[in-house]
Chains A and B, each alone.
Chain A
Amino acid sequence: MRASLERALRALSSLRLACVLLLFLGLLTWLGTLEQVTSGLYDVQKKYFESFVLVHHAGPIPIPLPGANLVLSLLFVNLLVGGMLRLRKGVATLGVLVAHVGIAVLLVGAFVKHRFSDEGHVTLYEGQRSATFQSYFLWEIAILEDLGSGRVREHLIPNGRLEEALGSGRVRIAPAGLPFDVEVSGFLRNCAPRREGAEANAVDGVVLEERPAHTEAEQNIAGVAIEIVDEKDGMRRKALLWGAESRPLVVTVAGKPWAITLRHEEYPMPFSVALDRFTKEDHPRIDMPKSFASDVTVTENGSSRPVRISMNAPLRSQGFVVYQASWGPSGAGPGTPLYSTLAVVRNPADRLPLAGCIVIAIGLVAHFARKLFRYVRVEGRTA
Chain B
Amino acid sequence: MFNKILIANRGEIAVRVIRACRELGIGCVAVYSTADRDALHVRLADESVCVGDPAPSDSYLYIPNIIAAAEITGADAIHPGYGFLSENSNFAEICKECNITFIGPTPEAIDNMGNKSQARKTAASHGFPVLEGSSGALKDLADAHRIAERAGYPVILKAVAGGGGKGMRIVKSAADLERQFNTAQMEAKSAFGDGSVYLERYVGKPRHIEVQILADKEGNVLCLGERECSLQRRHQKLIEESPSVAVSEKDRKNLSEWATKLVEAVSYQNAGTVECLRDEKGRFTFMEMNTRLQVEHPVTEMITGIDLVKEQIRIAAGQRLRMKSKDVILRGHAIEFRINAEDPSNNFAPCPGLITRLTLPLGPWVRVDTWVESGTEIPPFYDSLIAKLIVWAPSRVEALARARRALDEFKIEGIKTTIDFHREVIRDHRFVSGDYDTSFIEQYLKS
Indicate, yes or no, whether A interacts with B. Answer: no
Residues of chain B having any CB pair with chain A under 8 Å: none
